[in-house]
Amino acid sequence: MSSIEGYIDYQRREYCKDTRCPVQLLLDEAVPGSPQYDRIRGICQNSCIHTTYEFHHWLIEKGYLIARPA
């Protein structure tokens, strides 16, 4: 997927880092690919402590637009 000219794309885990998510902080301390990292990553993938409502409103506050091709 390509970027829209004049805009920047959301970067992976930008929300998590900006909100100082405690799970993200643990993930930042873990060694990528280690069992500990994979276990913590599983929390993000399957049991995120934040809601889509919170994420959506964070996107709005930061000025992000959600776009899809026609």
Q: List, for residues 17-70, the tens digit of each pLDDT value.
A: 999 999 999 999 999 999 999 999 999 999 999 999 999 999 999 999 888 888
> Does residue 52 sit within a domain?
yes
Q: What is the pLDDT of residue 50?
A: 95
Nearest alpha carbon to residue 23 among 33, 10, 36? 36
> Does residue 38 sit within a domain?
yes
Q: At what angle do helices 35-46 and 22-29 cross, to 10 degrees?
A: 160
Provide the whole-model pTM: 0.80
What is the count of structural domains for the chain?
1
Query: 24, exposed or middle or buried, with CB in 10 Å at 0-12, 13-18, 19+?
Result: buried
* CA separation, residue 68 to residues 18, 30, 58 (Å): 24, 34, 19
1, pLDDT greater than 80: no
Q: What is the pLDDT of residue 4?
A: 83
> Does residue 66 sit within a domain?
no
Full residue range of the structural domain in which residue 28 is found: 14-61
> Does residue 68 sit within a domain?
no
> Does residue 70 sit within a domain?
no
Which DSSP state fits 66? Answer: -
